[in-house]
Amino acid sequence: MKTFEFAHAATVEEAISSVVSSGGKYYAGGTNLLDLMKGGVEAPPALVDLRRLGLTNIVATDAGGVLIESGVSNSAIANHPLIRTGYPVLSQAILSGATTQLRNMATAGGNLLQRTRCPYFMDTAFARCNKRVPGSGCAATDGFNREHALFGASDTCVAIHPSDMAVALAILNASVLVQGPDGARTVPIAEFFRLPGDEPERDNTLHPHELIVGIELPPSPYAEHSWYLKVRDRHSYAFALVSVAAGLHIVEGAIRAAAIGMGGVAAMPRRVAEAEDSLLGQQAGEAAFRRAARLAMAGARPLSQNGFKVDLGMHSVVRALTMASR
Query: How far apart are CB 227 and ligand SF4 at their closest, in Å?
Result: 29
Q: How far apart are CA 81 and CA 223, in angstroms?
A: 12
Query: How far apart are CB 117 and ligand SF4 at their closest, in Å?
Result: 9
Query: How far apart are CB 118 and ligand SF4 at their closest, in Å?
Result: 3
Query: How far apart are CB 198 and ligand SF4 at their closest, in Å?
Result: 12
Comparison of 7 and 195: residue with beta carbon closer to ligand SF4? 195
Comparison of 137 and 219: residue with beta carbon closer to ligand SF4? 137
Are 318 and 296 a contacting pair, CB within 8 Å?
A: no
Residues 157-196 that bind ligand SF4 (CB under 6 A): 157-159
Q: How many residues bind ligand SF4 (CB under 6 A)?
A: 14
Torsion sign across C-alpha atoms 43, 49, 51, 54: negative
Q: How far apart are CA 235 and CA 224, in angstroms?
A: 26
Comparison of 117 and 315: residue with beta carbon closer to ligand SF4? 117
Kindly state whether residue 36 participates in binding ligand SF4, applying the rule CB under 6 A: no
Query: How far apart are CB 119 and ligand SF4 at their closest, in Å?
Result: 8
Comparison of 158 and 295: residue with beta carbon closer to ligand SF4? 158
Q: How far apart are CA 301 and CA 128, in angstroms?
A: 22
**Contact region for ligand SF4 (CB under 6 A) — 45-53, 156-164, 184-192, 239-247?**
156-164
Query: How far apart are CB 32 and ligand SF4 at their closest, in Å?
Result: 14
Bridge partners of 83, per DSSP, are none
Beta strands in 209-318, from DSSP E residues, in sequence order: 211-217, 226-231, 242-251, 254-263, 270-271
Comparison of 266 and 275: residue with beta carbon closer to ligand SF4? 266
Quick note: the x/- pattern for ligand SF4 over 116-155, rule CB under 6 A, is x-x-xx-------xxx------xxx---------------
**Helix axis angle, 286-297 relative to 308-325, nearest 10°?**
140
Q: Residue 11 burial by CB count (10 A; 0-12/13-18/19+): exposed, middle or buried?
A: exposed
Long-range Cβ contacts of 182-185 (<8 Å, 24+ apart): 182/207, 184/213
3-class SS shares of the chain: helix, strand, coil, % to 5? 30, 25, 45
3-class DSSP state of 206: coil
Q: Could you tell me which of 260, 255, 254 has the C-alpha nearest to residue 275? A: 260
Comparison of 36 and 55: residue with beta carbon closer to ligand SF4? 36
Quick note: the x/- pattern for ligand SF4 over 255-284, rule CB under 6 A, is ------------------------------
Query: How far apart are CB 28 and ligand SF4 at their closest, in Å?
Result: 23
Of residues 88, 200, 269, 313, which one binds ligand SF4 by CB under 6 A?
200
Comparison of 131 and 225: residue with beta carbon closer to ligand SF4? 131
Q: How far apart are CA 253 and CA 251, in angstroms?
A: 5
Binding footprint of ligand SF4 on the chain (CB under 6 A): 116, 118, 120-121, 129-131, 138-140, 157-159, 200
